[in-house]
Structure 1
Amino acid sequence: MAIGTKSVVHIAFVVKDIEAVVDKWSRLLGLEEKPDIWNIPGPDVAPTLTNGKPELYHNCRIGVIKLDNLALEIVQPGEEDSPWKTFLEKHGEGFQHMAFLVPDEKEARKTIKEISGAESEYHIGYYPGQAYMFFDTFDALKTELNIKVDGDYKETIAKLQKEISGK
């Protein structure tokens, strides 16, 4: 039993000052241009659920540094509740999760539960061609896991957007 891949898509860090951290990573890696920093998309682009409820966080900022073999995500939470704010409050700044694109969601879930005890994801987000899920595996693995699953999520997105907007 395993999650079905050994390739990490990205690793994520939660920070209080995204500008400073992105600048330092850029200098460390000798990047000619610093990566852009932007707000994580809201439900109009990528609806999310945290603990089964629609998440409407605003002002969570992200910078992505693409390396040869994976990406570094640097995230600064906003004032509203979000997985990143919760992580920052519980663990402080640092390494939040590793992300894997898995070929079999059911098998990955089963393995994560067996290894870590995490019954299910606590946060899930949808893009048209991919879903991502955060599992709180911190106690067992000393980090959280993010599994990504390719698929057609357009109907799920439309349903959630309708639910969130109340229309």
Structure 2
Amino acid sequence: MEKNMLGNNVITQIGILVHDIEITSQAYADFFGVDKPEWSLTDTVDRAQTEYRNQSTEARAKLAFFNMGSLQLELIDPDRNPSTWREYLDEHGEGPHHIAFVINGMKEKVTLMEKNQMPLLQKGEYTGGRYAYMDTFKDLKIILELLENDEAK
């Protein structure tokens, strides 16, 4: 395996799959003594250009974010459409799904990881950037998410 593939070793986010975003986000808010964040719904496929296992998918998810200093907790409550979120939740139940890193050069990083037997699971766009979930479970025991944010203008 090549070393330092991402060019960054700072974990930005931990993603956690849940069955009910309202109940779980309230539990986290109560536990940490913070306000419960409003959840948002990911964009439709025409905007997000979501692909799962190289196929376009209508998959969407409710997301709630807790900013915890240098790390963000992301709660993910997926719909029933095919996605890495739905597959993982159905197979493993609620709990950790991924750790995320902010990177530059999404296409190059995905290509490099795929050359190192870490295939792309899912990708899409969000307002201000793009994401890619890489299947790193065999070696790293968790999925890695690559986040590439557009430069502020």
- TM-score normalized with structure 1 length: 0.77
8 Å contact from structure 1 (residues 4, 108) kept in 2: no
User: Partner residue of 1:66?
Assistant: 67
TM-score, scaled to structure 2: 0.84
Aligned pair in 2 of structure 1 residues 145, 112: CA closer, same or farther (>3 Å)?
Answer: farther
Q: After superposition, where does 1:113-132 map in structure 2 within 5 Å?
A: 114=116, 117-118=117-118, 120-127=119-126, 129-132=128-131
Deviation at 1:52, TM superposition (A): 1.5
Q: Is the 8 A contact 1:47 1:125 kept in 2?
A: yes
Aligned equivalent of 1:5: 8
Q: What count of residue pairs does the alignment treat as equivalent?
A: 147
1:12-64 deviation per Cα after TM superposition (whole angstroms, max 9, x unaligned): 00011221211111111110x21001222212432211112111124x21111
Identity %: 25
Find the counterpart in structure 2 of residue 49 from structure 1.
Answer: 51
Match of 2:38 in 1: 36
Residue 21 of structure 1 corresponds to 24
Runs in 1 of length 4+ with deviation above 3 angstroms? Answer: 111-114
More moved, 90-99 vs 123-132: 123-132
For structure 2, the residue ranges without an aligned partner over 5 or more in a row are none
Contact 1:46 1:126 in 2 (8 A): yes
Q: Which has the larger radius of gyration?
A: 1
Structure 1 residue 96 corresponds to structure 2 residue 94:
no
Q: What is the DSSP-based 3-state SS (H/G/I as helix, E as strand, rest coil) of the residue aligned with 2:37?
A: coil
Aligned-pair Cα RMSD in Å: 2.1
Gaps of 5+ in 1: 153-167
Higher relative strand content? 2
Question: How much has 1:113 moved relative to structure 2?
Answer: 5.0
CA distance in 2, matches of 1:112, 1:70: 26
Deviation of 1:104 (Å)? 4.1
